[in-house]
Structures are given as C-alpha cells and as structure tokens.
Structure 1
Amino acid sequence: MISLDIPGHRSIEINNVVFDFNGTIAEDGILIKDIEDKIKKLSYKDVHIFIITSDTYGSAMKQCEGLPAEVNVFNEEDVSEYKGKIIEKIGCNSTVAIGNGRNDFEMFKKSILAIDVIGKEGCFAKGLSEADIVVNNIFDAIDLLLKPDRIRATLRT
C-alpha cells in the first residue's frame, strides 16, 4: 500500500494501480522499452496492478506475460464505461488510474487519483479535466508512485 497525506487536501491509501495498455505502457501494441522493470518495482510497494485494454493490436496478453499484473482484455462497445466499472469493482477510494485515451475518461472520474500520460500517442484533451496530474511519459507516472513525495508536492494546497 502507498500512503499519502497531502497537506490541505486529503489522505490517500493506494491499494490498486490500473494501467491502460496502448498509448500508456505500450506503443503500437508493444511494451515500451524498460517499462517491465518499472512495473516490477511498483509491485514491491504492495499494490495490486491491473492492465485493462480493448487491445487494439491483439498483443496485450503476450506482451504482459511475466508482469506482476492482472490483465483484462475486453471487447465492449463502451470501453470507457467498462473501465469505470472495473475501478468501482476494485475500489474507487483506493485506486490510481493511469491512461491517456478517450476510453480512460470514466476510470479517471472514478479513481481516487488519475494520472494522464501524454506520451507519443498524445492524450485525450478532455481527459485532462478529470486527471489530477498530467505527465509527459509513463516513466514519470510510475515514478510518482515510487516517490510519493512528488505527488504530495504537486497536490498540496
């Protein structure tokens, strides 16, 4: 668990981290170089890691083999709504959502902390309105969780 006491804001206990796949931890269906090591380091923080995707390229399961994460691949019509329901199921008040796309919007709204990743694919501009923090790349997003004082510094009032 990652515990944060954010001065003038709120206390947060993070038990779950949910990643989008394409555009967030993968580019064109392939895991971003060195992301596996970062995700493994994050797992040492005693958080449950989930990767949820509609898997545009059909590669998520193979690419995520060996990661300390539960991978959910789905073919729902309303992907955003489905991702939001996953956040509800595992716990809105203890889940961080990390993504970049339009279909991450609902999980951003439902999570205790939402991190929007710009990355090479860019990000859904309206997602910025639901994100708590916006970063340039996935490594910066994971480093926020590995070094939570960075979150504290960004969100304090």
Structure 2
Amino acid sequence: MDRRTSGRIGPLLATLALMCALLGMPQLVHSQSAETFEEMLSEITQGRPVNEGRVSIASDNIVKVDEPLLVTVEINPMAIVKDEDVALHLLMSDGPWSKAYTAKLRTHDGHAHFATRVRVNKSCTLHAIVEIDGQELFGATQDVKVSAGAYVR
C-alpha cells in the first residue's frame, strides 16, 4: 500500500464502525424495553426458586443523575468446587428497561467476578440472578438511590 491508499483506509474503517454501532443501538434499546420487570423475572426463573448464598452484588447505594454506576457481581463456589457455565442477568426493578445486562461466563474453581457500569435513571433495586449450568438459580439484590444533589460516597 502506498501513502495515498493507507490515508483513506483509516477514515473508511472509522465510518464503518460508527455506522455499525449506530444501527445496532436502536434495536438493542427496543428489544429491552418491551417487557416489565415482573415479566423478565418470570422468563428467567421459569417458576424455579432463586436461592441465596452463592452470589453477591455490590455498588454504591447512591448515584448522581447522569453518572454511570459501577456494579460488581461475585459468584462463589459451593461445597463441590468445579468449573461451571453461568448465565448472569442484571435486572433493574424500575427503569427504562428491566434487563440492564446479560452475560455468559465460566467459573474457575467455582469463582467468577463480573463488573460493569450501568445508567440508573430512577431509584430502584438491582437484582443479580445467576443460572448455574442451566439449572439452579442464585441471586442477590442491591438498593440504589438516584440523587440530583450533592452526596458523599
């Protein structure tokens, strides 16, 4: 490639990446906003009980309007330590869409750590629900308040 060709490829790739991102976002928001929290929870649990103990969720209890909230989810091993396939669902009890994030993970010796930033528009409860090997469900909750004023973390 000579200089004239290489100078044109960079902007072309950047434009292509931007178009893919812009075309994909409306579809993502539309598909997430269709269901209520109760419907989403029912779809995930399918009548199965959500157990406590293996999953913990952590975030600040208060977040300023328009700031992203760092949320971490920890998965801890049971008595039998092994690698497991995990489907993690991060739900909001109130917000523009009920499902904030979904991830497929694999534990290492029963442990996994997940962190993401989410926008929380209204005070709500965050729910981390983990499906282990497509069978058992474990969950944890964290209350988050949205504030427009000053606060101390």
Q: TM-score if structure 1 supplies the norm length?
A: 0.22
Bigger radius of gyration, 1 or 2?
A: 2
Q: In proportion to residue count, which structure has more strand? A: 2
Q: In proportion to residue count, which structure has more helix? A: 1
